[in-house]
Chain A
């Protein structure tokens, strides 16, 4: 993603962490504003206001954490997938979620924050992730419901982000959106297959939809009036469409899909509003939303405990790989492309690459 580690002229290595630029220079600010005004992208090494940087680090890392934690509720079902075909599909999907997390961590790292610091913030509970993953996946139909509804809502949220003002984030989102489409379609396909099965299977689908519908609507975040970051993010070109508008778009798109599937959505107030040209829907239980956001979701503790355990169980692998790489360098004496480089070693001119225009 064109990272902070790249060498720039006239910068000492310690100042490369992202705070190298003068914080409140009016000329820089004017240039930054003009760039946004033109609809151009901000790139990692460009000057940016500290608030913009912080907002992006918070949003991109939360997004990355959500992808990684999102692997857990579905990973649960890999060994219990009903057929080899469904198992292969689910494996591919969970692997995608891991990949999405990595694209996003890399995008966040371009803002001068280390991967370790990001992971630590997730594990300590300092950083949040999407509250949707704190709900349990009780039956196989939940896997379909997550694909259709959760990933469907995620796509709604993410498509506008492909045009967000920060280049690395926008580029990561383009990749992610392409792959999410497979996630949503396989979910619908899974549910459709179950709906053509036994009455029990149909009941499972309806039950899963009943449980996921409201939490999915909450994924779009608080009402526009109650959202703390909305307005500033809109000015910065980070958020292009408001929470309520996205939620409405999602409901409008999903109601006809539910009809094709043959399920009802658990909202007695759901009805077509001819005058508005949109579906009206009932009030959201914001008490539940804030409860889950603040870490009291049904699976909150289990998710983080599982994450931390996976990270700690893998520590010896990370350490061994690094020790091996360093040993190979020490044995050879000189850096070579097959072994990587040791810290603080002299650069070898033949490996220098100029990438202006390559990113």
Chain B
């Protein structure tokens, strides 16, 4: 990063109360207060949110995309974790 480029932040917005904050984009800002201000101007011009989180992008740790198979595939052979795995008699199938 260029020393004079403002750091990058990731923006998460709760669109209305009762819902999760969801990642919606990123922006540059010198500090958290301005990141919040900028996020408001850039990502909530049309009432898209009631709450904003910002986090420095370099503070986020992500899973390795190349490790997708070993990270996520093992769940595929555990279909007994899903309710649809269990065939019940029709009289009780709506339990």
Contact = CB atoms under 8 A, between A and B. Distances in A.
A338 B32 CA distance: 5
B18 to A, nearest CB: 18
A354 B64 contact: no
Contacts of A359: 23
From B6, B27, B59, name the one whose CB has the most chain A CB atoms within 10 angstroms. B59
A106 interface: yes
B57 A340 contact: no
B45 A325 contact: no
Contact of A6 (B25, B42, B60): B60
A96 B46 CA distance: 10
Interface in A84-118: 92, 95-96, 99, 102-103, 106, 109, 114-116
Contacts of B65: 43, 45-47
B82 interface: no
A334 B59 CA distance: 15
A4 B33 CA distance: 22
A343 B64 CA distance: 24
Interface stretch (B7-15, B73-81, B83-91): B7-15
Interface string B11-33: 01000000000110111111111
A1 B4 contact: no
A183 B14 CA distance: 26
B26 A3 contact: yes
Nearest to A328: B31
A99 B57 contact: no
Nearest to A182: B46
Interface residues of A, number: 51
A318 B6 contact: yes
B58 interface: yes
A69 B42 CA distance: 17
B5 interface: yes
Contact of B33 (A1, A115, A338, A353): A338
A12 interface: no
A41 to B, nearest CB: 12
Contacts of B12: 358
A321 B33 contact: no
A358 B14 CA distance: 12
Contact of B62 (A6, A103, A338, A347): A6
Contacts of B23: 2, 355, 358-359
A7 B32 contact: no
B8 A355 contact: no
Given A6-B60, A109-B26, A356-B62, 19 more contacts: A3-B8, A5-B8, A5-B56, A5-B57, A8-B61, A96-B45, A103-B42, A115-B28, A116-B4, A321-B34, A322-B6, A324-B31, A339-B31, A340-B7, A343-B1, A351-B56, A352-B60, A354-B62, A355-B62
24 contacts: A2-B23, A3-B8, A3-B10, A5-B1, A5-B8, A5-B56, A6-B58, A7-B60, A8-B61, A8-B64, A109-B26, A115-B5, A116-B5, A172-B25, A318-B4, A318-B6, A322-B4, A322-B6, A325-B31, A339-B33, A343-B3, A352-B60, A354-B60, A356-B63
Interface of B: 1-8, 10, 12, 22-23, 25-35, 41-42, 45-46, 55-67
Interface of A: 1-10, 43, 45-47, 92, 95-96, 99, 102-103, 106, 109, 114-116, 171-172, 175, 179, 318-319, 321-322, 324-325, 328, 337-341, 343, 347, 351-356, 358-359
